[in-house]
Amino acid sequence: MGVESGGIIDICSQIRDSFDSIASDVKYQAKGVFHSEMLLVCAITEALGVSHIVESGRARGQSTYLLARYFDASTGCRITSVEYEKYTRDAIIAMNRLRGHSNVDLQFGDSWNLLPSLCTEEECIVVIDGPKGRDAVQLAARVLRNPEVRVVFIHDLHAVAAGRKMTEQFFPDSNTFFTDDEQYVEAFRDLDERCWEEMKEYPETAEGWAPYLRHGEKIPSYAHTFAMIVNTAEGIDVVDECTEYAQKFKSESTLLQRAKGKILNFLESEMTKPYWALRYWLQQLLTQ
């Protein structure tokens, strides 16, 4: 499957109306994936004819619920969703929302342990929305060794996210697409009007968020952003490279971390709006 914007937009346009008919009345929930982003997951799953979706990171189940509505039991598609946190308000909200969807299996546990075995039996699509950042990319790398995993989606890989550069570096360009692609955004951003509006009901997580704005700072991405990595027929094996790369950040000396922290605090407190671009690039340099 080619992943240039034109082809992806065509595939998504084919289901746009049917997706909108199930998504437009779905109320946004805290921490949730946006409609224009889930459109891509649904369109690719349908286009590839894959009938098992494995999700890591459910929280209140916005993504899970949209999948469950688009691929209801009559489609023959199964959805297995893994969430780490068991006795939380989020977990209860998700269980209540998804009650009655017989093709959805809500599991609790750590995806590092569960995902590889959930992906062995048949072709599947994997959606990772927790863990985050470089950990998410490492988890993606682990499952992509298995050619039964046709595509992996990783959420929150906007242009300034930890893990974006890592994804661009280790997965071939020809197999990778990001939903902050300009043409993709222009084609489908109108699906998100309700999400942006209802997101304001959760100021603790959504303060200072708007298109191309995150925590009040301009960023070069429209929103959270899904990375899509299409697997090859043999599987992609970049586990060692990803582990080594991620390890570099974990093994930094405390002294270096403290120094970086001081510089970042200075940037945060001393540099105000007109310098956002400079601050942004300096932050990038220090955190990637």
Ligand X SMILES: C[S@@+](CC[C@H](N)C(=O)[O-])C[C@H]1O[C@@H](n2cnc3c(N)ncnc32)[C@H](O)[C@@H]1O
Point out which residues bind ligand X (CB under 6 A). 29, 31-33, 56-63, 82-85, 90, 110-112, 129-131
Q: Contact at 8 Å (CB) between 125 and 70?
A: no
The residue (of 62 and 279) whose beta carbon lies closer to ligand X is 62
Q: Are strands 104-108 and 78-83 parallel, antiparallel or unpaired?
A: parallel
The residue (of 61 and 163) whose beta carbon lies closer to ligand X is 61
Alpha-carbon gap, residue 28 to 199, rounded angstroms:
7
Residue number of the CB closest to ligand X reads 130
- Residue 58: which residues within 8 A CB-CB, separation 6 or more? 64, 81, 82, 83, 90, 91, 94, 106, 129, 130
- Report the interhelical angle of 5-23 vs 62-70 (nearest 10°): 90
CB of 31 to ligand X, least distance (A): 4
Instruction: Name the DSSP class of 173.
Output: G
The residue (of 142 and 279) whose beta carbon lies closer to ligand X is 142
CB of 112 to ligand X, least distance (A): 5
The residue (of 35 and 279) whose beta carbon lies closer to ligand X is 35
* Phi then psi dihedrals of residue 72, to 5 deg: -75, 175
CB of 133 to ligand X, least distance (A): 11
* Phi then psi dihedrals of residue 197, to 5 deg: -65, -50
CB of 10 to ligand X, least distance (A): 25
The residue (of 62 and 179) whose beta carbon lies closer to ligand X is 62
CB of 82 to ligand X, least distance (A): 5
